[in-house]
Structure 1
Amino acid sequence: MSDWTWDYNPSEEYITDGLPPGVVAEVERIVTELAALGPETVRVGRPIDREGGLREFDILGGRGFISFLPVPRHECVYVCNVTWYG
């Protein structure tokens, strides 16, 4: 288990506005698991050919994806965007 946390960037209201509650719950579940990975989070998701930077991860069987930024210096995973195709 890691000491990493997660947060929305810029804010929860901005990122989750208009999303169904089930999608928000799934995003928060996934990001909690990503934070538990700690520094390994820089290797999760796309792009697969390099580490760090803005990453993407499919949610709910490819019906959407999240964009997240793992910041080792802050020990935090920031959710930057959620794209939901419905």
Structure 2
Amino acid sequence: MTDWTWEYNPSEEYVADGLAPGVVAEVERLATELAALGVDAAKVGRPFDREGGLREFDILGGRGFISFLSAPRHHCIYICNITWYG
């Protein structure tokens, strides 16, 4: 277990506004798992050919994806965008 946390960036209202509660719950579950990975979260998702930067990870069987940043300096995962095709 790591000491990493996760947050919405810039805010939950901006990133998750209007999404179904089930989608938000799944995003938060995944964010918790990404935080548990710690520094290795920079290797998860797209793009596959490099580490770091803005990453994308499919949610709910490809019906959407999240964009996130892994910030080792802050020990935090920042959820920056949720794209939901519904």
Same fold (TM over 0.5): yes
**Alignment map for 1:1-86 (pairs within 5 Å):** 1-86=1-86
Count of residues in Structure 1 that have an aligned counterpart in Structure 2: 86
- Cα distance in 2 for partners of 1:77, 1:27 equals 12
In the alignment, structure 1 segments of 5+ residues that lack a partner are none
User: Deviation per CA, 1:14-41, whole angstroms, max 9, x where unpaired?
Assistant: 0011100000000000010000000000
Q: One-letter code of the match for 2:37?
A: L
1:73: Cα distance to partner? 0.3
Name the TM-score, length of structure 1 as normaliser. 0.99
Q: Percent identity?
A: 78
- Cα distance in 2 for partners of 1:41, 1:63 equals 21
Query: Structure 1 stretches (4+) deviating beyond 6 angstroms?
Result: none
Q: One-letter code of the match for 1:68?
A: F
